[in-house]
């Protein structure tokens, strides 16, 4: 992205990209992983159930 801060279209595009990055799935996953040590056993169980429902209970352990 090239442009000048005085250019309104440049600022709008920069803001759109920043918003997309802030609300990306990767950002939410990173935040969740970062806070994983703070999760209680109940939180982990709830998260495990939510993730299992998405993939039909299939686990890919590598």
What domain range includes position 13? 8-54
Tell me if 21 is assigned to some domain.
yes
Q: Give the integer Cα–Cα distance in Å for 27 and 21.
A: 7
Number of domains in the chain: 1
Residue 17: inside a domain: yes
Q: Is the dihedral of CA 30, 24, 12, 4 positive or negative?
A: positive
Q: What percent of the chain has pLDDT over 90?
A: 50
Alpha helices, DSSP H, located in the chain: 8-22, 25-34, 41-54
Residue 60 lies in a domain: no
Q: What is the pLDDT of residue 50?
A: 86
Mean pLDDT of the chain: 85
Highest mean pLDDT among 2-6, 23-27, 39-43, 52-56: 39-43
Of the listed ranges 13-17, 18-22, 36-40, 51-55, the least confidently predicted one is 51-55
State the average pLDDT over residues 2-9.
Answer: 85
């Amino acid at each position: 992205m090239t442009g000048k801060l005085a250019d309104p279209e440049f600022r709008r595009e920069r803001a759109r990209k920043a918003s997309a990055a802030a609300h990306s799935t990767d950002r939410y996953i990173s935040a969740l992983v970062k806070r994983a040590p703070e999760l209680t056993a109940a939180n982990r169980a709830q998260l495990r159930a939510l993730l299992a429902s998405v993939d039909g209970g299939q686990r890919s352990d590598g």
